[in-house]
Structure 1
Amino acid sequence: MPNSVTRRTFGGATLGAALALAMIGGPALAQTKTLRLSHHLQPGHLVDVASHRFADLVSEATGGEIAIEVFPAGQIAGLRQGAEAVQLGTVDIVWSDFGTLANWRPEYGFVSLPFMFQGDDHFEAVFGGPVGEELAASLKENLNIETLGYGNAGFRVIATRDAPVNGPEDLVGVRIRVPEVPTFVNAFNAIDANPTPMAWGEVYTALQTGVINAVENPAEGLAVGDMNEVTNYLSRTLHIMTDVNLFANGAMMEGLTEEQQAAMREAAATAVDEFNTATREASASYWDELAATMEVVEEPDRAAFQAAMAPVWDDFTAATGDAGQHWIDVVTAAAPN
């Protein structure tokens, strides 16, 4: 990954000092509560960096009362499994996305609709305002999830093994890896590709062996995953915005003291804000890193992709009714003029 994007990007906070030994005969030391944080991305990905930043801030703010252990790369749960585990409380904290949560509440798939968001400013207008607050309340009520922060991991591009992608016709019949998210599957079915849901940890080998012929992800995910070693062409389609949010089990949060809850929320706000800033700054660097070894299509026919994928919106509202249409309406209304 680029040398300019390291944990130093996030301030280099250190772990809080251990509690001092009590005086002889005085009160016993407080017992450390250990929480498990899971994500599906590789060590070194900005999500992993932000996870450790969050853990350090929590430890510091609570004087070591809370320790957060980070499990990257799907060590204890993949993307879908983690989203389910945080609802059940078998994992305390997870980075996940609304498209994955749509497996339990289909209306949340609105975030992953193709070409829903116009850019980073549109993301900020939605998630940093009243819509974000409404979403957080909805998640707490429906899935027992407390939202600690909304992350923007960037807009997605397409890497292929065998031929460049200029328009949707170039993906007809192509086996392309997509996450285990219904909206993604529907989007690539709409252009007659062959979407193949697959855990991220399996993608490199699947491309290497020809099980799949393409993958779509933000540039960072492709670069950190070394996908340029097993693909040859890169197309800047920007077809779906990638949200990756820091979620906590609601019951776990309620079991903390008020001071501990406040420390968790403040630490998350800092870490996720720094993650969003770093992602924006690193986006061009990751694209350039990939472009140095791949044949690049900088300006594919995005209008053709948008038109071809438009039926996915109709299918989504037909399946989710007023609930899904509501979220489309509020996001559309928040678009910058």
Structure 2
Amino acid sequence: MMFNKNKLLPIFTAVSLAVAAPAALAKNFKMALGDAAGGTQWEMGSKFAELLDKKTNGKMTVDLFPNGQLGNEQDTVNNAAIGLLDFSVLAINNVTPFSPSVGLLTMPYVIQSADEAKLLTQGEIGQELVENTIRDAGVRIIGWAYSGFRVLTNSKRPVKSPEDLKGLVIRVPRNEIMISAYQAWGVNPTPMAWSETFTGLQQGVVDGQDNPYITIHAMKFNEVQKYVTNIRYIFSLEPLIVSESIFQSQSPQMQQTILAAGKEATEYSFNYLQTTEQKIRDELAAKGMVFTDPANGEQAWIEKVTETVWPKFYASIGGKEKLDTALAVLGR
């Protein structure tokens, strides 16, 4: 039996195109994480990647790059803004320099519980901040990782009051609100890149830092820090951002899929914090960390920052009325 190759060619071509079509539509995204694997950022990013893979039947996948492999957290905002990076999970204080109104969420002692953090980020205030960040920074917040309160650690001694900070060198991010908080407590903190922090603590360049229990555990700070003070001046939020240019290049259906995955990953992150934080604190205690509660329920810490730090940043967050609105939403 003779075959006509010319007649079969269109058939082979059609079959080849049909097979190739899914591959052509497939996309592998990159996601930057500032923290090491095992922390809140990793949990958030992993859940988002899992959900996106599932919702697209494997056509859209995400590779995670922890420990600042794709640059420091502020670099990832820049790279996402110009379309060189797809996704990043990073501390909210590293978004603030690009979109100052987001600083509302880092104002000391505004958020006083995980439920309050959820209420602000997932309500009208959170949506306004999402829109501002698109406008100001060229990135879109599509999810929130909830990491818990930033507690103070140091290698020298127990700290109960702001006066106990004297003589200690404390690392902070390059964030004006956080720097001002420590200045209000009577010390000049040392701004230091996140990627340099463990080494700085290890070598004694700085004596202490502040971060949530989950981050302290993931970064193994217990190896270079002994004392923990349970100040709760900032609730650590770590938004999941996507490059707005890359987001807009997706089909409307794919955009909705990305948003849905971000929303579900946000809920997962909140639940993860609830079920994990106390366990991690217990593990840190078992590894030798010593915990101290602030004297008089943090009253001295609170008074110094609300009286001196809040007014300095009313303008950058959009006016005092923005803070008043947030406090009203929280019932205060």
TM-score normalised according to structure 2 size: 0.88
How many Å apart are 1:212 and its aligned residue?
Answer: 0.4
Is 1:136 the counterpart of 2:133 in the alignment?
Answer: no
CA contact (8 A) 1:156 1:242 kept: yes
Is 1:156 the counterpart of 2:150 in the alignment?
Answer: yes
What SS is found at the alignment partner of 1:150?
strand
CA distance in 2, matches of 1:265, 1:36: 17
Listed as ranges, the gaps of 5+ residues in structure 2 are 1-12
How many Å apart are 1:63 and its aligned residue?
Answer: 2.4
Is 1:24 the counterpart of 2:19 in the alignment?
Answer: no
Query: Match for residue 294 of structure 1?
Result: 289
- What amino acid sits opposite 1:154 in the alignment? G
CA distance in 2, matches of 1:84, 1:300: 41
CA distance in 2, matches of 1:324, 1:107: 9
Structure 1 segment 176-325 matched on structure 2, within 5 A = 176-292=170-286, 293-301=288-296, 302-310=298-306, 311-317=308-314, 319-320=315-316, 323-325=318-320
Measured on the aligned residues, the alpha-carbon RMSD in Å equals 1.9
Most deviating of 232-241 and 102-111: 102-111
Is 1:34 the counterpart of 2:28 in the alignment?
Answer: yes
Query: Match for residue 61 of structure 2?
Result: 67
CA distance in 2, matches of 1:96, 1:173: 30
CA distance in 2, matches of 1:282, 1:274: 12
CA distance in 1, matches of 2:319, 2:175: 16
Structure 1 segment 64-143 matched on structure 2, within 5 A = 64-143=58-137
Listed as ranges, the gaps of 5+ residues in structure 1 are 1-21
CA contact (8 A) 2:173 2:192 kept: yes
- What amino acid sits opposite 2:263 in the alignment? A
Most deviating of 196-205 and 39-48: 196-205
How many Å apart are 1:220 and its aligned residue?
Answer: 0.9
- What amino acid sits opposite 1:118 in the alignment? Q
CA distance in 2, matches of 1:106, 1:139: 9
Equivalent pairs, count: 314
CA distance in 2, matches of 1:52, 1:126: 24
CA contact (8 A) 2:40 2:215 kept: no
Most deviating of 223-232 and 291-300: 291-300
User: Are residues 26 and 46 of structure 1, via their aligned partners in 2, closer, same or farther at CA, if it must alter by over 3 Å?
Assistant: same
CA contact (8 A) 1:179 1:199 kept: yes
CA contact (8 A) 1:174 1:194 kept: no
How many Å apart are 1:81 and its aligned residue?
Answer: 1.3
- What amino acid sits opposite 2:325 in the alignment? V
- What amino acid sits opposite 1:315 in the alignment? K
How many Å apart are 1:26 and its aligned residue?
Answer: 5.1
How many Å apart are 1:23 and its aligned residue?
Answer: 7.9
CA distance in 2, matches of 1:238, 1:167: 13
How many Å apart are 1:150 and its aligned residue?
Answer: 2.2
CA contact (8 A) 1:148 1:247 kept: yes
CA distance in 2, matches of 1:217, 1:25: 53
CA distance in 2, matches of 1:113, 1:256: 35
CA contact (8 A) 1:96 1:245 kept: yes
CA distance in 1, matches of 2:17, 2:209: 60
Structure with higher helix content: 2
What SS is found at the alignment partner of 2:170?
strand
- What amino acid sits opposite 1:94 in the alignment? S
CA distance in 2, matches of 1:106, 1:267: 26
Give the % identical residues: 25
Structure number with larger C-alpha Rg? 2
